[in-house]
Amino acid sequence: MTDFALPIRVYVEDTDAGGIVFYANYLKYMERARTELMRSLGYDKPALFDGLQFVVRGVELLYHKPAVLDDEILVTARFEKVSRVTFTMSQQVFCGDELLVEGTIKVACIDVQNKRPCGIPKPMFETLKSHLG
């Protein structure tokens, strides 16, 4: 599968006093891209479904260069690994051809009631596996 890509415009609310994107906002951009990727696969409520929930278990980011006010950035998402309980995604943020931020995000499936890990439903698991990068 090619990378899923989501264009995002940088607004004043995304930046610090110097017009540079606040570092934590890249996590928000990546969350949006993951959500839209799941939606493109037919999962309209990817964070909460049938008593299950996806939660971020781990994040690793590397910042190369900042985005600034009014930039149009492109946020990508690609499945790298899928297991019965977790999946790992590779994500990047670009401005034009320039790589700004790259990261790896590990997401776990949990039971909404007891907050413990549980298996990704089989049809979804198969769909995610079929979209491995």
Collapsing DSSP states into helix, strand and coil, what is residue 35? helix
Residues in the chain: 133
**Catalytic-role residue among 3, 14, 16, 70:** 16
Distance CA 119, CA 93 (A): 30
Collapsing DSSP states into helix, strand and coil, what is residue 100? strand
With 0-12 CB in 10 A as exposed, 13-18 as middle and 19+ as buried, what is 42? Answer: exposed
Residues contacting 117, CB < 8 A, separation 6+? 85, 86, 108, 109, 110, 111
Q: Are 34 and 106 in contact (CB under 8 A)?
A: no
Relative to beta strand 98-111, strand 72-82 is unpaired
Reply yes or no on whether 16 is catalytic: yes
Catalytic residues: 16
